[in-house]
Amino acid sequence: MSITEASRVEVEPLAVDDLEKRTRAIGRELFRAVGAGASPLNRGWWDDRLMALTMGDDRVKIQLFRFIDALPALIHSDESVGRHLREYLDQADEFVPWFMKLGVSLAPVGTLRGKLLAEIARVSATQMAHRFIAGSTPAEAFETVRQLRQRGVGFTADLLGEAVISDAEAEAYQATCIDLIKGLAPRLAAMPEEPRLDRSPFGSIPRVNLSLKLTSLTPRFDALYAESTTRRVAERLRPILRVARENQAFVNVDMEQYAYKDLTYAIFREVLSEPEFRDWADVGIVAQAYLPEAEGDLHAMEEWVRDRGTPITIRLVKGAYWDYEVTHARQMGWPVPVYLQKWQSDASFERCARFLMENHERLRPALGSHNIRSLALAMAAAESLGVPTDFYEVQMLHGMGEPIERALVDRGHRVRVYTPYGAMLPGMAYLVRRLLENTSNESFLKASFAAKGEVEALLRDPEEAGAMLFVKRRKAPAPSPLPRFQNEPLTDFTRPEARAKMSKALEEFREQVRSGPTWIPLSIGGELSAGVEQLEVTCPGNTSLVICRTAAASAEDAERAVGVARRAFETWSEVPPRQRAEVLVRAASIMRRDRFQLAAVEIFECGKPWREADGDIAEAIDFCEFYAREMIRLAEPEHRDVPGETNAIERISRGVVVVIPPWNFPLAIPTGMVVAALVAGNAVILKPAEQSPLIGRRLQEILLEAGLPSDVLQYLPGRGEVVGQALVDDPRVDLISFTGSRAVGLEINRRAAETRPGQDHVKRVIAEMGGKNALIIDDDADLDEAVVGTLQSAFGYAGQKCSACSRVVVVEGVYDAFVARLTEAARSIVVGPPEDPETFFGPIIDAEAKARILRYGALARREGWVVFAGDVGSLADQGHYVGPMIVADVAPTARIAQEEIFGPILAVIKARDLDDALAIANGTKYALTGGLYSRSPAHIARVKRGLRVGNVYINRPITGALVDRQPFGGFKLSGIGGAKAGGSSYLEEFLLTRAVTENTLRRGFAPEEAEPVSPG
């Protein structure tokens, strides 16, 4: 059906006051119909009283929801169900109602009562799931649909299956959509017509109605690579749309997290503008009113429909991901995309509803809400604009608003129920969202349940409700020299402007390389020189591209550099700490200014994919900001004064620091090591990694631009065995800060321990070395998360991180299932050139590293069963590419399970139980990072205590430590231990501590001590 300008209803809308009066009148009428004093909240909970009591406390609620979430994974073991219930309730111990505790404690594990308890929990959760989930087979779905039609209610079937982690799963989702349409269509066609459900002023309404999620059509739905995501999703979407059209079915696209919103709209518009679908009106999409962007999105949709010439349906909702959006944005340091006050979402819903009613010919309204006020306003707006009741519909969630549903049907409305369909396991995320919503303090349903009869308050205009809120004014924080440290937010590449900036920086860098490689001289005391030989750095992803040529320093250059540094130290260490800190803060702002240019250098010089490169720049900024604040803190002497005696613990600078960083965090690690040394008042000699001298040179330039005197930082690229060794051996060096391989770290430590002629001090060594990091997968782990987390930890930056996961230790019960899903999901890993935004897995740093990895690959074939070996195809001719490899059934003692490979080879090891897994995880010479995926609170506690590594991560990937939040570093042969990079004690490594005591007693009297004054 096409639409014309003339079809718009020309009715004078009601004045605001009248609209409000009419809204309240409809609201009262609905409340009356719902039942005087009765709650619209359906009382079909597993146990009403129990639910009400347990949900009274948020801590109990969260633990119970976690238990419910874990339950499908425990389905085969009574012992496990009982143990988990007990463990979860222990977490909220003092807040758990006595009768629950009693029930659980009366049922010790393994007894008949234990079995009974497990059975009750299982049956209760299944009942609860059935309340919200309509069925798991087409036959069950049809039965639900049939019953709904008998009640005069329509349906939209939602296919559960959110976390699609492999193409096979995406294909299965597509097939299920198609099967469901084909399965339901003939059965429904054979049913008698229900005029209210099947007819409208704009013609007949499809009887089959499907709601689907675009993210379920590909394991890689990301706006960063919008074009290929669109292509993949469109390819899987079109067949569904075709089958729907052939079978007269309606298809609605659900809206998910904010990060997917713009791309979801874009794909919808693109596919439905195609000639094949352009004239098809039986499609819809969701608008989420909790987003301030919702109104703009609706305007854009309206314009698009004008152009398309065929209407669509808009389901207007508030939005189901509120808690996630708020937490996620805060964690990332991004602006929160949703309204923060409930009344704002309600008011936005009302504005959007009015807009839809005004434009109902193009955007057919479907009101998705259980909130009587929200619905009443939309209905009043429709009345005032002369929109017939059967032009729009009201949609509700299965199991949430049955009494309201009835009242609306009686009032003559077309009501459609969202009926999730699928198995219990993929349904858990949905179920928990519904439970959270039902029990949220902000929920209309809960409020109307609690308020019992306070109808007028529930029908209040949200703007009025907002105005009544007492706005707490925050006290202005006390002025401080620097604001509190906060991690630098990562770039949100789902924003088009961020993608454009990155593309531009890459293009500029490419241009620069085309005009010839950059020349990098040595820099000693601000003087540049050519060194003894030249080294060439090529792009790891495209070895025909020479990125830069560097001078290589000789041992004599090293000696000269130490001399200059020694002299510079004398003056730099006298600069007040606060001034030194200011240099770091300025350096951080320069890095922010040049963020994309710096990332572009890393992408070409080190083969870092976009997000990895961006994360590295953010971390470098964090180091500058964090250590600046730390120095200001440490510059304050600590006093332990007693009457007649002052005691001050003071820190002084050490002297000359040699920094030898690796290439794998090309800016972050050198920045951390260099600025820590500098801000502590030391002079520094930076010997960059041979593979990444260009970004190292940029670091030096940034610090000089930030105001660092040129003789305080010497830049000495060159060969490690020449210049590195000369620096380590020099008796005038005070501290060597090294991050890199175990072999080199131990060698530096050995050489530095030797006291050479003329040396008057013991050298200090900070050495961060390798890892053989393990992730443990417990038998109750959420496998969706565990698989994704393992792949990310093992194969991010092609496994070239000291924190990378190289062993995954899986508890027997889930071993086969985990290996199967891991292997399947690994097929979706995109290997490619790092400058391509879609690339997850780029090249290996150089030919030597590649050869080493290939040798281990051959060994892996002998030591285990290679279940996945990624093919790099023609990329192999272009650069240093090696595909990811997963090796199952590896013995814990095998070489590939013991030796650091520093590449993309993941050993999968089977463990009998958690204790065995822990012993295997601890059974190497390394102790850097490690983690666990589990939903057992007791197992989580056990691993937190027993996993002997520097950084323990639970239920998340084991890479990506953040400055201040997760100070980084290990022990055993992973590092000398002690201070951790990005942590509060790290700077002390670069400082010496003195205690200064003064006797202030003079002939028996002591002066009153003045408050210590901060230096600088």
Ligand X SMILES: Cc1cc2nc3c(=O)[nH]c(=O)nc-3n(C[C@H](O)[C@H](O)[C@H](O)COP(=O)(O)OP(=O)(O)OC[C@H]3O[C@@H](n4cnc5c(N)ncnc54)[C@H](O)[C@@H]3O)c2cc1C
Which of 469, 376, 299 is CA-nearest to residue 23?
A: 376
Cα separations in angstroms, 261 against 211, 236, 268, 321, 489: 16, 19, 11, 12, 20
- 323, 451 Cβ separation under 8 angstroms: no
Which residues have a Cβ under 8 Å from the Cβ of 15 and sit 6 or more positions away?
none
Ordered alpha helix ranges (H), 481-536: 496-514
Going by DSSP bridges, is the β-strand pair 542-552/533-539 parallel, antiparallel, or unpaired?
antiparallel
Q: Report the alpha-carbon distance of residue 280 to residue 310 in Å, rounded.
A: 7
Write down the least CB distance from residue 442 to ligand X, Å: 4
Shortest reach from residue 647's CB to ligand X, in Å? 51
Beta-carbon-side half-sphere exposure of residue 672 (alpha carbons within 13 Å): 31
Query: Least separation, in Å, of the C-beta of 237 and ligand X?
Result: 16
Q: Which is nearer to ligand X, 340 or 996 (CB)?
A: 340
Q: Cβ closer to ligand X: 41 or 81?
A: 41
* Distance in Å, CB of 471 to ligand X, minimum: 14
| Least gap, CB of 181 to ligand X (angstroms) | 19
Tokens representing residue 333 in the block: 């340091």
Q: What is the DSSP letter of 517?
A: P
Measured CA to CA, the distance from residue 862 to residue 514 in angstroms comes to 44
Residues counted in the chain = 1016
Query: Residues 418, 132: contact at Cβ < 8 Å?
Result: no
Least distance between ligand X and beta carbon 243 (Å): 21
Phi, psi of 310 (to 5 degrees): -130, 135
Residue bearing tokens 């085309």: 514
**Which positions lie near ligand X, rule CB under 6 A?**
254-255, 286, 288, 290, 315, 317-322, 338-342, 344-345, 368-371, 374, 395-397, 418, 437, 442-444
Nearer to ligand X, 1 or 340 (CB): 340
Beta bridge partners of 773: 805
Q: How far is the CB of 288 from ligand X (least distance, A)?
A: 5
Amino acid of residue 622? D
> At 781, which amino acid appears?
A
What residues pair up with 748 in beta bridges, in sequence order?
A: none
Q: Are 395 and 156 in contact (CB under 8 A)?
A: yes
Q: Which is nearer to ligand X, 395 or 974 (CB)?
A: 395
Tokens of 395: 């949609």
894, containing H or E segment: none
Minimal distance in Å, beta carbon 240 to ligand X? 17
How is 700-764 classified by DSSP, letter by letter? HHHHHHTT--TTTEEE--S-IIIIIHHHHH-TT--EEEEES-HHHHHHHHHHHHSPPTT--S--E
User: If we measure between CA atoms, which residue out of 453, 481, 484 comes closest to residue 36?
Assistant: 453
Helix, strand and coil percent figures for the chain, each rounded to 5: 50, 15, 35
Closest separation in Å from C-beta 253 to ligand X = 8
Q: Which is nearer to ligand X, 145 or 897 (CB)?
A: 145
Please pick, among 630, 802, 835, 863, the residue that the annotation labels catalytic: 802
The catalytically annotated residue of 768, 835, 863, 989 is 768
Q: Which is nearer to ligand X, 65 or 322 (CB)?
A: 322
Do 262 and 250 touch, CB atoms closer than 8 A?
no
Residue 753 and residue 586 in contact, taking contact as beta carbons nearer than 8 Å: no
Q: Which residues share a beta bridge with 529?
A: 522
Residue among 341 and 898 whose Cβ is closer to ligand X:
341
Find how far residue 360's CA is from the centre of its chain: 38
How many other CB atoms are there within 10 angstroms of residue 902's CB atom? 24
Q: What span, in angstroms and rounded, lies between the C-alpha atoms of 817 and 786?
A: 12
Beta carbon of residue 439, minimum distance to ligand X (angstroms, whole number):
11
| Known active-site residue 768 | yes
Min dist CB 487 to ligand X, Å, is 25
Least distance in angstroms from the C-beta of 697 to ligand X: 48
Nearer to ligand X by Cβ, of 272 and 353: the residue is 353
Q: Using the minimum distance from each CB to ligand X, give the nearer residue, 182 or 269.
A: 269
Both tokens of residue 34? 């719902």
Nearer to ligand X, 343 or 663 (CB): 343
Rounded CA gap, 332 and 390, in Å? 44
310/369 with CB nearer ligand X: 369
Q: Which is nearer to ligand X, 319 or 975 (CB)?
A: 319
DSSP for 965-992 reads TS-B--EETTB--SS-BTSTTGGGGGEE
What contacts 489, CB < 8 A, 6 or more positions away? Answer: 332, 333, 334, 618
199-200/203-204 β-pairing: antiparallel
d(CA 233, CA 599) in angstroms, rounded, equals 29
Helix (H/G/I), strand (E/B), else coil: 348: helix
Q: Could you tell me which residues come within 8 angstroms of residue 450 by beta carbon, excluding any fewer than 6 positions away? A: none
Q: Please name every residue paired with 435 in a beta bridge, in sequence order, or none if there are none.
A: none
Whichever of 397 and 591 has its CB closer to ligand X, that residue is: 397
- Farthest-apart Cα atoms in the chain, separation: 110
The least distance separating ligand X from the CB of residue 370, rounded to whole angstroms, comes to 4
Q: What is the DSSP secondary structure assignment for residue 391, as one 8-state letter?
A: G
Beta carbons within 8 Å of 843's beta carbon, 6+ residues apart: 540, 541, 607, 798, 833, 834, 875, 879, 880, 881
List active site positions.
768, 802
